[in-house]
Amino acid sequence: MTQHLADALPATTATRPGWWREAVIYQVYPRSFADSNGDGMGDLEGIRSRLPYLMELGVDAVWLSPFYASPQADAGYDVADYRAIDPMFGTLHDADAVVREAHALGLRIIVDLVPNHCSDQHEWFKQALREGPGSPLRERFHFRPGRGPGGSLPPNDWESIFGGPAWTRVADGQWYLHLFAPEQPDFNWEHPAVQDEFRSILRFWLDLGTDGFRIDVAHGLVKAPGLPDLGRDEQLKLLGNQVLPFFDQDGVHEIYRSWRKVLDEYAGDRIGVAEAWTPSAERTAMYLRPDELHQAFNFHYLNTGWDAVALRGAIDDSLDAMRPVGAPTTWVLSNHDVVRHRTRFGSLARARAAALLMLALPGSAYVYQGEELGLPEVVDLPDSVRQDPSFFKENGQDGLRDGCRVPIPWSGTEAPYGFGDGGSWLPQPADWAGLSVEAQTGDPSSTLELYRAALRIRRERAELGAGDAVQWLDAPTGVLAFRRGGFVCTVNTTGEAVRMTPPGTVLLASGDVADPGVLEADTAVWWQG
Ligand code: GLC
C-alpha cells in the first residue's frame, strides 16, 4: 500500500496549516451514501465515485463513519477487525483509492475510530471467552463475577445506553461490561495491551494517508476505579449532565495525550475529533488542550432549539469555553444519531436559515450527508425494517436512529434514486425525487445550490471561518445579527417578517429577500456590510 501524505494535496483551504480550524467537514455514512454494486448497501467504491460531488459542493474534508469488518450489530460501531474492511463496503484497496482520490481533489479524509468497545466477534474477545475466568486475556475487557445468590445479578447497577443492564453473563458465570449493545464489549483501558493496540491502529490508518480520526465515545474509555454503583435508575437522563463513573473520567486525557504524540509524528496536520458527551463546554474544552485532541463535536449547539436567545447563548458559551485552550469551536446540526434538523426545527425554511447561521460562525462546521439536500427525517419506517439496536430494547436511547440513515437520493424519479441499482437497505420515501442531487442542481432556489453558494462564499471570505469571536449587533426580538469584519449575518427565528435597516448589500439569503428592509420569517441573510 502506498503512503499518501496529506501535504501532497493540491492548494485549497484544506492544505493550509491548521486547515481544521475552519474546515467544513462532511459526514459520509457509508451504508447510505452510494452503492456501486447493487446490493442495496453503500460502499467505498460508491464513495470514491462521488468524491467529485463533494469537491464541487465545496467542503474541505470528509469524515467516514465505520467501514471496518463488523457483524453490524450497531451499524459498524461494533468492530471485529480494526485493520480490515467489511466485505459489504469493499477492500483495503478501495479504502486506499478513496484516500488517494480525495487527496487529488483537495479533500481530506477522516476515519471513525471506535476505541471504547469492539465487537463480540473481535479475536481478543473470542479468545477471552474461550480461555475462561482468571485468564489474563479476560483482563483486556471488564469481566467480573456477579452479585447476589450464585452471582446471578450484574456486578453493578450501570445501565446500557441502548437499554437494559450494561452487563451480560457468559456461560461460565462471569459477566462482562458493555455500555452499548451486548455485542459491544467495553475494552479495559487500564490494560497496556489495549493502549498499545490502539496506538498501532492509529498508525495503520495514518500510514494509509488518512488525515485523522473521529473518536467514537471519546469520553467513555476510562471507568472509575472499582466500577462503583451509580445508585439510581434512569441513568440515561444523566448522560451529558454530570461526570459519571463510566463517562468523562479525568483519566481519559492521558490517553489523548499519548495519541496526540502519534498524530504529531506524521506530516500534514493530522487531527483527532472527540465525540465527547460532557456536562459542560468547559469540560469538553479539556479534551482540546494543546497536547490533546484538535476538535470536539458541539452537542450543546446541536441540542439548541430554534430560538434566538438560546442560540446566542450556545454560541457565546461555546466560543468562551474554547478560547482558553486555543481550540476552534465546532458547529453541527445533524448526524447519524439524531433526528435530522429540518424535522427537529419543523420546516425547510428553518433548516436553510440554520445552515447559513452555522456556516457564518467562526470555527469548523460539520455537514451530515443529505442535509445539503434539505432531507427530512423519515419518520414512518415500518418496524420490520428498523435496525437501530436500541429500537429493540426498552428504556434506552429513543431507538429511532434509522430515520436519519435512509440512503440519499442522487437522481431519477423512483427509488433508489440513483443510490445504486438494487434498492436500498432502508426504504426511501416515494416523494424524494424532487430532493435528489440531479433535481436540485442548477435550480437557484434549491437547498443544494444554497449550500454550494454558502460554501463558495465561505472559502472566498477569510473572515467567515477564522477567529474566535462574533460581534453581536442590536436586533429586534427573535433576530440574531452579528458582524465578522466586513461581513454581517442576520437571522430571523420568528414566524413573522421583521423590518430592519439593511446592514449592507445582500450576499446570500436562505429565503425571499425582495425587500432588503424586511427580514422574512425563519430566514437568514448574509450581507456585505
Ligand atoms: C456513538 C456513535 C453511535 C454508536 C455509539 C456506540 O455514539 O455515533 O452511532 O451507536 O457510539 O458506538
How confident is the model over 86-129, as pLDDT tens digits? Answer: 999 999 999 999 999 999 999 999 999 999 999 999 999 999 99
Return the CATH number of the domain spanning residue range 469-528: 2.60.40.1180
- Nearest Cα residue to atom 4 of ligand 1: 77
C-alpha 458 – ligand 1 centre gap (Å): 30
Q: What is the pLDDT of residue 237?
A: 87
Q: Which of 27-41, 291-305, 394-408, 436-450 has the lowest mean pLDDT?
A: 394-408
Average pLDDT of the chain is: 95
As a whole number, mean pLDDT of residues 19-32 equals: 97
∠ CA 234-235-240, rounded to 5° = 130
28 near 65, Cβ under 8 Å? yes
Nearest-CA residue for atom 12 of ligand 1: 77
What average pLDDT does this structure show over 434-456? 98
pLDDT confidence bin for 6, thresholds 50/70/90: very low
Is pLDDT of 466 > 70? Answer: yes
Question: What is residue 430's predicted lDDT score, i.e. its pLDDT?
Answer: 97
Enter the C-alpha cell of residue 273.
475529533
How many alpha carbons lie under 13 Å from residue 378 in its C-beta half-sphere? 23
pLDDT classification of 8: cutoffs 50, 70, 90: low
* Percent of the chain at pLDDT exceeding 70: 97
- What burial letters (b/e) apply to 336-369, b meaning 16+ CB within 10 Å? bbbbbbbbbbeebbbbbbbbbbbbbbbbbbbbbb
Q: Provide the CATH number for the domain formed by 6-116+192-457 in this structure.
A: 3.20.20.80
Residue 7 pLDDT level (bands cut at 50, 70, 90): very low
CA 514 – ligand 1 centroid, Å:
44
Q: Which three cell numbers stand for residue 243?
A: 461526570
Q: Distances from the Cα of 261 to the Cαs of 108, 290, 480, 513, in angstroms?
A: 20, 11, 41, 50
Q: What is the pLDDT of residues 168-177, one digit of tens each?
A: 999 999 999 9
Q: Are 201 and 82 in contact (CB under 8 A)?
A: yes
Poorest-pLDDT segment among 261-270, 343-352, 381-390, 505-514: 381-390
398 pLDDT more than 90: no
Q: Is the pTM of this model over 0.75?
A: yes
* pLDDT band with cut points at 50, 70 and 90 for residue 248: very high
Which of the listed CATH numbers 3.40.50.300, 3.90.400.10, 3.30.310.220, 3.80.10.10 matches domain 123-177?
A: 3.90.400.10
**Å from CA of 217 to ligand 1 middle:** 7
The whole-number average pLDDT for the span 208-213 is 98
Q: Which residues line ligand 1 (CB under 6 A)?
A: 74, 77, 114, 180, 216-217, 275, 336-337
- What atom in ligand 1 is closest to the CA of residue 74? 10
Torsion angle, alpha carbons of 31, 277, 393, 166, to 10: 120
Atom of ligand 1 nearest to the CA of 401: 9
- What ranges do the domains of the chain cover? 6-116+192-457, 123-177, 469-528
